[in-house]
Amino acid sequence: MLTGKMVAVRYARDRIIPRYIDVNDPGWREAAERLLMLFRGQEGRTRGELEEEWNELLGEGPGQIIHQGLAKLLEDRCEFEIVSGHPPEELRAAVFRAAARQRQKPADPEAMIETRFDRAAVLHEAANALRLTPEAIEQGLFADLKSEQRLVHFKDISAEHLLQRYNVALAQAVLYRCTRLHVTIRNEPPQRYRQLLRRLKFHRLICAMERIGENSWRLHVDGPLSLFSATQKYGLQLALFFPAVLLCRDFEIRAELSWGPQRKPKIFEATPRDGLVSHYTDAGTYVPPELGLFVELFRKRVSDWDILEETELFPLGSAGFWVPDFRLVHKATGRRVLFEVLGFWRRCSAEQHLARLRQHVAEPFLLAVSDQLHIEETELEGLPAEIHRFRNMPLPDEVARLAGEVLNA
């Protein structure tokens, strides 16, 4: 993450516009490569030594603030640890005791000057007390200071990805001052919405969702702390959620900010046109092969029903939202049946999901449950749903039959 002094922005009336860098610019590519060379293969060196080198490399040029941001992102990818054969606090205690004893020694009465303090003698006495060498004492004396921590692992990255990461980190740093976030998302599959909702829950953010068109939703994202004050902790949670939105194909972000010491109201906006690339792993739209095969067979074998990916979100009270997997549409009548597949979940997640559906969903729907989850019949009681048990994948003909029963219920 970038610190406040590394945030490069410009102002346009009430808007805050980050000064993104061109990831294809040869000059920035070269600068990123030079910084990367400082971190690659440097295991064993201290944090202070690395900081001294990159400060010397950065210099005082006009792009120094960006160079500092790049170096900070690389430092965040480092794993440092205290390297000492003995706890540093115990070494210091032994040295301080030895130094105190030496100070208490009486001066030589025949000498006309005060006895000089002997540093080497102090280290030697402390080493004898701990059964170590004076060199080991000196090396580990302040090993727990941040500047003395040693690099044990650097998670490498390409220059291009580093520059992309910088642009996202710059936007995230602006969001530290966010009090409320509005996110518009269009034409995403249900898996994407579920991914976003999981991220919101993970970061303890409160979300109200508004449908603004066919397959289009607006998320009004808040957090419990914002009800009282715009805290740094709350802004951090919004910033951590931000890269999940960047995985969407068509989005608009509008953030309300409290900016500067005077906390002036400002606006930050982001769209795909900014070219920001998320560093989060995109597992949100993954479709298990068995489910993809089921959809293909359903469309071939079932003539009186259409199967569509469902993107409507149904509120589940304080538990969040429900995004069914599919919408089955009866061709003759146009009536729909919501269809959920519980086949590729963890058992504990499936149990929690069933409890939420039982409590909050009133509209009849169709539920397919995999035998691999080992869910008992008693756990399915109380659901307003027709249940289809399957072994490997749902059976298209049986799903169509049960969907008809839901319509007639």
138-152 pLDDT, tens per residue?
Answer: 777 776 677 778 888
For residue 20, the SS3 value is coil
Using alpha carbons, select from 374, 328, 378, 379 the residue that is nearest to residue 353: 379
Quote the pLDDT of residue 350.
80
The mean pLDDT value for 319-344 works out to: 86
Instruction: Retrieve residue 318's tokens.
Output: 């304080």
Tell me, letter by letter, the H, E, C secondary structure of 14-39: CEEEECCCCCCCHHHHHHHHHHHHHH
pLDDT attached to residue 225: 44
Dihedral pair phi/psi, residue 339, rounded to 5°:
-130, 120
Q: Looking at residue 112, what is its pLDDT?
A: 45
Spatial separation of the C-alpha atoms in residues 49 and 30, rounded to whole Å: 22
For residue 320, what are its two tokens?
A: 């969040």
User: May I ask the CATH class of domain 289-408?
Assistant: alpha beta
Mean pLDDT of 156-162: 94
Length of the chain: 409
DSSP reduced 3-state for 69? helix
Q: How confident is the model at residue 223 (pLDDT cuts 50, 70, 90)?
A: low
Residue 343 has pLDDT above 90, yes or no: no
- Which of 84-98, 154-168, 251-265 has the lowest average pLDDT? 84-98
* 70-79, 103-112, 351-360: least confident range: 103-112
Query: Phi/psi at 146 (nearest 5 deg)?
Result: -60, -40
Q: In the chain, pLDDT over 90 holds for what percent of residues? A: 33
- Average pLDDT value for the chain: 84
% of the chain beyond a pLDDT of 70: 88
Per domain, the residue ranges of the chain are: 88-142, 176-281, 289-408
Which of the four pLDDT bands, split at 50, 70 and 90, describes residue 372? confident
Q: How confident is the model at residue 191 (pLDDT cuts 50, 70, 90)?
A: confident
- The answer on pLDDT for 230 being more than 60 is no
Q: Backbone phi, then psi, for 343, in 5-degree steps?
A: -135, -20
Note the pLDDT of residue 227: 46
Cα dihedral 231, 234, 239, 240 in deg (nearest 10): 140
The angle at the Cα of 191, spanning 187 to 192, to the nearest 5 degrees, equals 55
Q: What is the pLDDT of residues 14-41, one digit of tens each?
A: 999 999 999 999 999 998 999 999 888 8
Q: Which CATH architecture is the domain 176-281 placed in?
A: 2-Layer Sandwich (3.30)
Reported confidence tier of residue 409, pLDDT bands at 50, 70, 90: low
CA–CA separation, 355 and 371 (whole Å): 18
Q: Give strand ranges (E) for 111-155.
A: 150-154
pLDDT given at position 228: 46
Q: How far apart are CA 94 and CA 38, in angstroms?
A: 36
Residue range 338-351: average pLDDT? 79
Under the banding of pLDDT at 50, 70 and 90, the label for residue 83 is low
Q: pTM of the predicted model, to two decimals?
A: 0.70
Tokens read off for 135:
């060199």
Q: What is the pLDDT of residue 28?
A: 92
Confidence of residue 307 (pLDDT cuts 50, 70, 90): very high
Q: Residue 334 is encoded by which pair of tokens?
A: 């146009």
- Per-residue confidence (pLDDT) for residue 96, from 0 to 100: 84
